[in-house]
């Protein structure tokens, strides 16, 4: 219990620091927000009026107070470029990104776990080096490059899947999946490679352990030993590593969503950065960091629940 | 195990040596202007004898550009990793060696920075500073620093508890001496392994930033820029994407393979 | 294509027509009766932002909201002012008052009938600095807006403002909104146009629905969905796979290929906008006219057009709308002459290698980046070292436009057909868009004189003189007019009506889908 409280408190503290850093970095950004709102054909006096009304001339601390107060009360302000409440925008875009993040995690795990186990079982043989080389290749190319290749193959050449865009799962789920599949796959390939390597090394470690030898000595079939005893114990660490990759995924979605015109959090963040939409930059950077931290927290807590040492006894 | 290891290590080493050699030597033999020489009659030309890797949308030779790009990419990635070591190493050592409040404070900061995905952090910093070669280095370097600091600190914590360190302390060795004589040499293997892997990630990050227009500036030859430019001509001239893509893949693959082997050699504990 | 062929083809494209559109054969055959119904999916090249037409200055938003809003008067294809929501309009004879008679029974999308109060509300909203209207200076000389009855609006001017009528004919300052609707316009625009606004998902789509009570008769289409797809090749793929009915802005290098595709129709028109290279007159070397002239001689405009835009446009030395009265056709771009440029630079005291310049180009217009890369090579030949700094749109606006912190840059503008707006804001020393620090008393005098000259022919002559001055002094290097393009499925009818005379906005009122 005290572990739980400690972990929660430290998460809260880090969240607070994250908000400070987010605010500090984004306020150092050069660029004229008023200009961005009004466009090139705007009149200088109108611009100055807008700067005043946006509070761009207030002291930093006052601006931070306003901002964090708003965040805590659920009022994230209004996006300057989209003229929409940021809370609504975030809710909408997080759902979109969740779709590809979950989908890519699913794709990656579905491929990486069997492949990693297979490589570990055939350790030091050709299967192992094949899996190892394949997964190295996976992490060796930027995900946007995979994305370009996937567009070329599945959209342009085969015409199976749309090359871009986003469809709302709440309206048309199959269509939403079709739109999400290629970006998810582009994200998933790098992740898959990483998880394969992790699964392999975790499995190798476990297969070397005493209880596996005992199980084998008891005459259990190799299949039972590997899947029931080996993998069951490897899953915890693999899941932990997978969970920690959420951060990596949220970094990658910026490039991948932009490439696929998939309008989720990554796309939103990039648009915000490009357009100097300060409130939106702050909100989206903060939310991404918060999502990463909360995922890590959940993973940590789950890990305690499925700790193999506890289950072994 | 040994045979595979050495094969893999050999391939990795060959790739790394080859690409580093190209990066170092190319600028000496190929004038900078060759990479920006345009031929409006040969735009998006396919591979031929004159242009073995084809040309891009401005009729520039892709072989020349990809070779010069090795220099750009490796310079940026190398400097960025160097920056992360210069900042992260002292942070991690001090934190792990002194522990206590300082450690808590530093690691809290590092944890906070780790909550930001590295690419997001690099993008935001690059957007903040404005794109240039120097700022790309800073953006990537800063984004990688917390990772390095974390690893170094973990290593330092481990080394500090070693019997020989205890012994040296009992003998009255001063802190700076202790760090230089005992801590640093013992964490160096980990730092080298991490640096190799970071180098691979830094090349990917540079490509990503350039791809989004926030990295290297045209008309310089950079792999990320080349891939970005290829986007509009993909179905017509796929080689414009494949050539720089292959260059990135070979470099990163080489570094990863080399890093794996290094880890096995330098850090027996990690050997599975 | 070599240069001679290029010249030939652009000459054909120009054809002397005020506004040319070219069609593939399939659309020429399409002389069928329009049918009603259907949802048209348009792949829009840009992202729509603030939806308040008074507050927004971006071409992307105007392009879509052209279908939602109307103004009192508008322009026809020859740029004559014609009534729209107004039944008639007249100028008092002294340039100090304008009287508008409104069409009776014009409905807004909220069901209200338009009256003079709505007009007064809209104009005062634009005039009020607190609104943050982009074009609020249009109403600077307006002293009173009177509404003697429900269908009459009288605008009193404090002094003569010759361009006033043209400015309120634009779908910006001139947009009429129902009284009191200002607060919701940014999110849910309400107007009197042929389509009602339904929904907007940032970066995804804008959805419009036919407004059956449109004063000029209902449109054919049930709905228009403008999907925002900024990647050119992705847009093209969408058109080819049938996901999209039409796209605007076909990638320049693909236009010939699409034109040759019997399964698609294309519309190209001229001009969409114009580009120029900017020199900061506050930067020491550029204070010298010889240096600016040298830069002009370094740039091969024809080659640059070919390189950056695959020849999709026509070079020009005048930024006036090519068929407008104020276009100075006597001006011709200076040809590339590197030796002359070197000599001029030497005269100005800059030997080879003495000048090192930074070119700030924005990634918002990828072809500007291409153009800059090509220019680097030419500058090198003339002994000038040019390096490129790619800026995001936000950075470009802040560094170049607002802070005027640059040496060389490049920009494009709508083909603004009201010369006062164009010349006063861009080249007058106090002009709102004079980000190059241009301070030329001769220009100031000319454009101020034009502003109070009511006779159209005399005004046009003054602007021609101003262009000559801009050219002689090389205040900027004016490059070209760029073509607009649309690609569409064969099922789309009425494409000949879609482009607004300003060359940028698209109007779906008479567009239809074949069953």
Pair A97, A41 in one domain = no
Picking from A48, A75, A102, the residue at the C-terminal end of a domain is A75
Q: Are residues C305 and C386 in the same domain?
A: yes
Query: In terms of pLDDT, which residue wins out, C443 or B186?
Result: C443
In the predicted model, is pLDDT for residue A35 greater than 70?
no
Which of the 8 DSSP states describes residue B141? H
Average model confidence (pLDDT) across chain C: 88
Confirm whether A215 is domain-assigned.
yes
Residues A167 and A229 in one domain: yes
- In this structure, is residue A24 part of a structural domain? no
pLDDT band at C2 (very low <50, low <70, confident <90, very high): very low
Position C64 in a domain:
no
CA distance C396 to chain A (A): 9
Do A226 and A273 have their domain in common?
Answer: yes
How far away is chain C from the Cα of A243, in angstroms, using its nearest Cα?
29
Answer whether residue C420 shows pLDDT above 60: yes
Closest CA in chain B for residue A209: B272
pLDDT of residue B268: 56
A296: in domain: yes
Task: Establish if C1 belongs to a structural domain.
Answer: no
B250: which chain A residues are within 8 Å (Cβ-Cβ)?
140
The pLDDT value recorded for residue A41 is 55
In this prediction, residues A22-50 reach a mean pLDDT of 69
Residues in chain B: 272
Q: Give domain status of residue C233, yes or no.
A: yes
Residues C218 and C115 in one domain: no
| The predicted structure's pLDDT at residue C21 | 44
Chain B neighbours (≥3 Cβ pairs under 8 A) are A, C
Instruction: Examine the domain organization and report whether A243 and A290 are in the same domain.
Output: yes
Query: Does residue A142 sit in the same domain as residue A227?
Result: yes
Contacts A–B by Cβ distance under 8 A: 132
CB contact under 8 A, A136 and B249: no
C316 pLDDT band (50/70/90 cuts)?
A: very high
The three-state secondary structure class of C62 is: helix
Which of A75, A105, A140 is at the close of a domain?
A: A75
- With cut-offs at 50, 70 and 90, classify the pLDDT of residue A42: low
C2 located within any domain: no
Say how far apart CA A266 and CA A260 lie, in whole Å: 11
pLDDT of residue A153: 85
Mean local confidence (pLDDT), B239-244: 91
Q: CB–CB of A164 and C241 under 8 A?
A: no
Single residue among A23, A53, A75 that ends a domain in this structure: A75
Same domain, A100 and A177: yes
pLDDT digits (tens, 9 = 90+) for C293-306: 999 999 999 999 99
Q: Under an 8 A CB cutoff, do A30 and C237 touch? A: no
Tell me, yes or no, whether C334 and C450 share the same domain.
yes
Please tell me whether residues C325 and C369 are part of one structural domain.
yes
In a domain? residue C497 = yes
Q: Is residue C442 part of a domain?
A: yes
pLDDT-derived band at B6, boundaries 50, 70, 90: low
Domain of residue C87: give its range.
71-180
Q: Is residue A18 part of a domain?
A: no
Distance CA B257, CA B218 (A): 31
On whether any CB of chain C is under 8 Å from the CB of A176, the answer is no
What is the DSSP track for chain A?
-HHHHHHHHHHHHHHHHHHHHHHHHHHH--S-HHHHHH-TT--HHHHHHHHHHTTTTS-HHHHHHHHHHHHHTT---B-TTT-SBHHHHHHHHHHHHHHHHHHHHHHHHHHHHHHHHHHHHTTTSHHHHHHHHHHHHHHHS-HHHHHHHHIIIIIIIS--S-SS----TTT-HHHHHHHHHHHHHHHHHHHHHHHHHHHHHHHHHHHTSHHHHHHHHTT--HHIIIIIIIIHHHHHHHHHHHHHHHHHHHHHHHHHHHHHT--SHHHHHHHHHHHT-HHHHHHHHHHHHHHHHHHHHHHHHHHHHT-HHHHH-
Q: Do C318 and C447 belong together in one domain?
A: yes
> Which has more confidence, C378 or C58?
C378
Same domain, A132 and A36: no
Choose one of C180, C215, C239: the last residue of a domain: C180
The chain B residue lying nearest C371, using CA atoms, is B58
pLDDT at C350: 95
pLDDT band at A311 (very low <50, low <70, confident <90, very high): very low
- Does A164 lie in the same domain as A41? no
**Contact flag A43-C137 (C-beta cutoff 8 Å):** yes
Best B130, B211, B212, B219 residue to mutate vs chain C (most C CBs within 10 Å): B219
Asked if C394 lies within 8 A of A261 by C-beta distance, the reply is: no
Q: Tell me the nearest-neighbour CA distance from B178 into chain A, angstroms.
A: 32
A42 to C134: CB separation less than 8 angstroms, yes or no: yes
pLDDT tens digits for range A119-169 = 888 887 888 888 888 888 888 888 888 888 888 888 777 878 887 778 778
Residues C440 and C388 in one domain: yes
- Of the residues B33, B35, B39, B40, the best mutation for testing chain C's interface (the one with the most C CB atoms within 10 Å of its CB) is B40
Task: Supply the CATH number for residue C149's domain.
Answer: 3.90.76.10
Q: Whole-model pTM?
A: 0.80
Are C441 and C404 found together in one domain? yes
User: Whole domain around residue A41: which residue ranges?
Assistant: 31-75
Interface test with B, best of A19, A101, A136 (most B CBs within 10 A): A136
Residue that finishes a domain, picked among C158, C180, C202: C180
Number of domains in chain C: 3
Could you tell me if B34 and B60 are in contact, meaning their C-beta atoms sit under 8 angstroms apart? no
Do C506 and C460 share a domain, yes or no?
no
Please judge whether A83 and C397 are an interchain contact, meaning their C-beta atoms are less than 8 angstroms apart. no
The CATH number linked to A156 is: 1.10.3720.10
Q: Which chains border C (3 or more CB–CB pairs < 8 Å)?
A: A, B
Mean pLDDT of B216-226: 85
pLDDT tens digits, B102-117: 898 898 889 889 888 8
Q: pLDDT over 90 for what percent of chain C? A: 62
- Answer yes or no: do C233 and B235 touch at CB < 8 A: yes
Kindly state whether residues A93 and A151 are assigned to the same domain: yes
Judged by a CB distance cut-off of 8 A, whether residue B148 touches chain A is no
Under 8 Å between Cβ of B209 and B136: yes
Asked if the Cβ–Cβ distance from C134 to A268 is below 8 Å, we say no
Q: List subunits contacting chain A, requiring 3 or more Cβ pairs under 8 Å.
A: B, C
Mutation test of the interface with chain A: which of B109, B120, B132, choosing the one with the most A Cβ atoms within 10 A? B120
Model confidence pLDDT, tens digit, residues B22-43: 989 888 888 877 888 888 888 8
Contact B36/C376, CB-based, under 8 Å? yes
Q: pLDDT, tens digit, for every residue of C10-26?
A: 322 332 233 344 444 44
Determine the Cα–Cα distance for residues C364 and A107; give it in Å rounded to an integer.
Answer: 35
φ and ψ of C492, to 5 deg? -90, 125
Residue A226 lies in a domain: yes
**Same domain, residue pair A52 and A103:** no
The reply to whether B237 touches chain A by the CB within 8 Å rule is no
User: What is the per-residue pLDDT for B124?
Assistant: 86
Judge if C250 and C334 occupy the same domain: no
Determine the pLDDT at residue B218.
82
User: What share of chain C has pLDDT > 70, as a percent?
Assistant: 93
Same domain, A68 and A107: no
What's residue C9's pLDDT? 30
pLDDT of residue B267: 63
Q: Which of C180, C215, C231 is the last residue of a domain?
A: C180
Residue A82: inside a domain: no
Number of domains in chain A: 2
Helix (H/G/I), strand (E/B), else coil: C74: strand
From chain C, pick out residues whose CB is under 8 angstroms from the CB of B127: 392
Residue C8 has pLDDT above 70, yes or no: no
- Looking at residue C30, its pLDDT comes to 47
**What's the mean pLDDT in C456-473?**
95
pLDDT value at residue A201: 83
In this structure, is residue A12 part of a structural domain? no
Residues C150 and C197 in one domain: no
- Asked if residue C8 belongs to a domain, the reply is no
* Residue in B10, B123, B124 to test binding to A, most A beta-carbons within 10 Å: B124
Which residues have C-beta within 8 Å of that of residue A286, sequence separation ≥ 6? Answer: A18, A19, A22, A71
d(C-alpha C116, C-alpha C123), whole Å: 11
Residue A74 pLDDT class (50, 70, 90 cuts):
confident
Residue C63 lies in a domain: no
Domains parsed from chain B with CATH numbers = 2-33+52-267 (1.10.3720.10)
Q: Is A219 on the interface with C (CB under 8 A)?
A: no
C422 and C348 in a single domain? The answer is: yes
Could you tell me if C43 and C80 lie in one domain? no
Is residue A121 domain-shared with residue A231, that is, in the same domain? yes
């Amino acid at each position: 219990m005290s572990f739980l409280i400690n972990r929660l408190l430290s998460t809260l503290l880090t969240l607070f620091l994250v908000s400070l850093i987010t605010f500090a970095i984004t306020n150092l950004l050069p660029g004229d927000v008023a200009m961005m709102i009004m466009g090139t054909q705007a009149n200088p006096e109108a611009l100055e009026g807008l700067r005043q009304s946006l509070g761009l001339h207030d002291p930093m601390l006052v601006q931070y107070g306003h901002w964090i107060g708003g965040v805590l009360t659920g009022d994230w302000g209004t996006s300057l470029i989209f003229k929409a409440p940021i809370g609504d925008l975030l809710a909408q875009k997080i759902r979109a990104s969740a779709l590809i993040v979950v989908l890519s995690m699913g794709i990656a795990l579905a491929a990486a776990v069997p492949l990693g186990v297979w490589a570990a079982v055939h350790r030091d043989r050709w299967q192992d080096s094949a899996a190892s080389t394949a997964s190295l290749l996976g992490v060796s190319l930027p995900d946007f490059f995979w994305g370009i290749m996937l567009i070329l193959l599945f959209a342009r050449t085969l015409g199976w899947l749309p090359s871009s865009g986003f469809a709302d799962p709440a309206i048309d789920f199959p269509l939403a999946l079709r739109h999400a599949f290629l970006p998810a796959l582009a994200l998933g390939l790098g992740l898959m490679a990483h998880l394969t390597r992790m699964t392999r090394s975790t499995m190798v470690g476990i297969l070397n352990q005493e209880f596996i030898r005992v199980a084998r000595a008891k005459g259990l079939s190799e299949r039972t030993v590997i899947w029931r005893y080996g993998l069951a114990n490897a899953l915890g660490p693999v899941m932990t590593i997978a969970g920690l990759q959420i951060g990596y995924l949220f970094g990658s979605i910026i490039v991948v969503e932009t490439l696929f015109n998939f309008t989720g959090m990554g796309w939103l963040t990039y648009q915000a950065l490009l357009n100097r939409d300060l409130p939106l930059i702050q909100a989206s950077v903060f939310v991404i960091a918060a999502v990463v931290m909360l995922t890590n927290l959940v993973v940590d807590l789950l890990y305690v629940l499925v700790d193999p040492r506890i289950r072994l006894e | 195990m040994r045979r595979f290891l050495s094969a893999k290590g050999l391939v990795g080493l060959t790739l790394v040596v080859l690409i580093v050699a190209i990066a170092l030597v190319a600028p000496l033999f190929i004038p900078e202007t060759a990479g920006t020489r345009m031929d409006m009659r040969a735009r998006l030309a396919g591979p031929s004898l004159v242009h073995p890797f084809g040309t891009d949308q401005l009729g520039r030779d892709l072989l020349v550009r990809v070779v010069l790009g090795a220099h750009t990419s490796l310079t940026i990635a190398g400097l960025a990793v160097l920056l992360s070591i210069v900042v992260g190493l002292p942070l991690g050592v001090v934190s792990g060696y002194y522990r206590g409040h300082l450690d808590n404070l530093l690691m809290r900061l590092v944890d906070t920075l780790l909550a930001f995905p590295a690419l997001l952090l690099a993008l935001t910093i690059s957007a903040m500073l404005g794109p240039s070669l120097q700022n790309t280095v800073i953006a990537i370097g800063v984004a990688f620093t917390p990772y390095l600091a974390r690893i170094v600190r973990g290593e330092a914590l481990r080394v500090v508890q070693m019997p020989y360190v205890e012994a040296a302390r009992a003998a009255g060795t001063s802190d700076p001496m202790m760090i230089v004589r005992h801590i640093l040499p013992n964490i160096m293997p980990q730092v080298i392994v991490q640096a190799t892997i970071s180098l691979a990630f830094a090349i990917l990050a540079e490509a990503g930033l350039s791809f989004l227009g926030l990295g290297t500036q045209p008309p310089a030859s950079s792999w990320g820029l080349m891939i970005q430019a290829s986007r509009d001509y993909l179905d017509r001239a796929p080689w414009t994407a494949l050539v720089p893509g292959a260059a990135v893949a070979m470099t990163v693959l080489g570094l990863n393979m080399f890093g794996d082997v290094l880890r096995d050699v330098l850090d027996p504990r990690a050997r599975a | 294509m070599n240069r001679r062929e290029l010249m030939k083809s652009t000459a054909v494209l120009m054809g002397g027509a005020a506004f040319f559109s070219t069609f593939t054969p399939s659309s020429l055959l399409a002389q069928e009766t329009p049918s009603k119904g259907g949802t048209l999916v348009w792949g829009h090249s840009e992202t729509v932002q603030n939806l308040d037409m008074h507050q927004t200055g971006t071409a992307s938003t105007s392009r879509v909201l052209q279908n939602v809003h109307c103004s009192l008067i508008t322009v026809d294809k020859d740029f004559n002012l014609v009534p729209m929501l107004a039944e008639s309009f007249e100028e008092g004879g002294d340039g100090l008052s304008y009287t508008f008679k409104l069409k009776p029974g014009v409905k807004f999308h909220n069901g209200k009938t338009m009256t003079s109060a709505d007009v007064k509300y809209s104009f005062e909203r634009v005039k009020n600095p607190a609104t943050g209207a982009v074009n609020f200076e249009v109403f600077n000389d307006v002293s009173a807006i009177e509404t003697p009855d429900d269908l009459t609006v009288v605008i009193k001017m404090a002094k003569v403002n010759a361009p006033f009528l043209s400015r309120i004919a634009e779908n910006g300052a001139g947009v009429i909104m129902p009284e009191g609707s200002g607060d919701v316009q940014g999110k849910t625009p309400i107007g009197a146009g042929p389509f009602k606004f339904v929904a907007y998902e940032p970066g995804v789509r804008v959805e419009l629905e036919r407004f059956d009570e449109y004063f000029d008769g209902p449109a054919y289409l049930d709905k228009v969905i403008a999907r925002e797809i900024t990647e050119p090749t992705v847009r093209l793929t969408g058109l080819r796979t049938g996901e999209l009915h039409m796209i605007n802005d076909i990638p320049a290098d693909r236009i010939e290929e699409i034109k040759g595709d019997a399964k698609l129709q294309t519309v190209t028109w001229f001009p969409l906008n114009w580009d120029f290279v900017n020199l900061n007159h506050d930067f020491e070397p550029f204070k010298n006219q010889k240096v600016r002239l040298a830069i002009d001689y370094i740039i091969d405009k024809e080659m640059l057009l070919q390189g950056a835009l695959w020849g999709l446009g026509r070079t020009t030395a005048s930024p006036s709308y090519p068929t407008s009265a104020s276009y100075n056709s006597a001006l011709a771009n200076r040809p590339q002459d590197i030796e002359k440029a070197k000599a001029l630079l030497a005269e100005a005291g800059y030997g080879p290698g003495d000048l090192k310049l930074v070119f700030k180009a924005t990634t918002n217009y990828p072809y500007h980046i291409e153009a800059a890369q090509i220019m680097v090579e030419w500058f090198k030949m003339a002994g000038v070292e040019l390096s490129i700094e790619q800026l995001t749109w936000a950075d470009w606006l802040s560094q170049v436009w607002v802070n005027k912190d640059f040496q060389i840059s490049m920009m494009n503008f709508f083909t603004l057909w009201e010369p006062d707006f164009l010349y006063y804001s861009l080249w007058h020393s106090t002009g709102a868009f004079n980000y190059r620090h241009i301070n030329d008393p001769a220009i100031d005098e000319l454009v101020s004189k034009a502003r109070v000259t009511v006779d159209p022919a005399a005004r046009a002559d003054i602007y021609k003189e101003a262009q000559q001055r801009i050219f002689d002094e090389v205040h900027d290097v004016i490059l070209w007019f760029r073509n607009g393009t649309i690609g569409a499925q064969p099922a789309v009818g009425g494409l000949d009506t879609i482009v607004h005379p300003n060359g940028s906005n698209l109007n779906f009122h008479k567009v239809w889908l074949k069953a």
